[in-house]
């Protein structure tokens, strides 16, 4: 009877240990994925900060005026290719 109780106890402990190990592995994978996502978002934030700084420069305003509005300086000659 004692041997049966000891074997049953060992089986219960073994099953619980296995389930905890599987849960640990799943949580480790999730943590790794979240760390990659955090790194990606930090890089994106840096890119956005750089873009924000660029958008506050005179060069950005000139580029937008040239591309979107077709403006040129008074002494500048614009040569367009023949279509």
Write down the pLDDT at residue 69: 84
Quick one: pLDDT at residue 30? 98
> Could you report the per-residue pLDDT of 18-67, keeping only the tens digit for each?
999 999 999 999 999 999 999 999 999 999 999 999 999 999 998 898 88
Distance CA 45, CA 75 (A): 40
Alpha-carbon dihedral of residues 38, 41, 42, 46, nearest 10 degrees? 180
Cα gap 2→45, rounded to integer Å: 63
If one compares 49 and 70, the residue with the highest pLDDT of the two is 49
Are 65 and 71 in contact, with CB atoms under 8 Å apart? yes
| pLDDT over 90 at 11, yes or no | yes
pLDDT higher at 27 or 77: 27
Q: What is the mean pLDDT of residues 77-82?
A: 77
Q: Token digits for 31?
A: 């943590």
The number of angstroms, rounded, from the C-alpha of 82 to the middle of its chain's C-alpha atoms is: 45
Q: Where are the domains of the chain?
A: 2-65
């Amino acid at each position: 009877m004692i041997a049966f109780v000891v074997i049953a106890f060992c089986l219960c402990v073994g099953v619980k240990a296995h389930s905890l190990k599987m849960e640990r592995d799943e949580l480790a994978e999730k943590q790794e994925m979240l760390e990659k996502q955090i790194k990606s978002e930090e890089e994106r934030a840096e890119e956005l900060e750089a873009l924000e700084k660029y958008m506050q420069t005179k060069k950005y305003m000139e580029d937008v005026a040239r591309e979107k509005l077709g403006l040129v300086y008074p002494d500048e000659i614009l040569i367009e290719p023949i279509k």
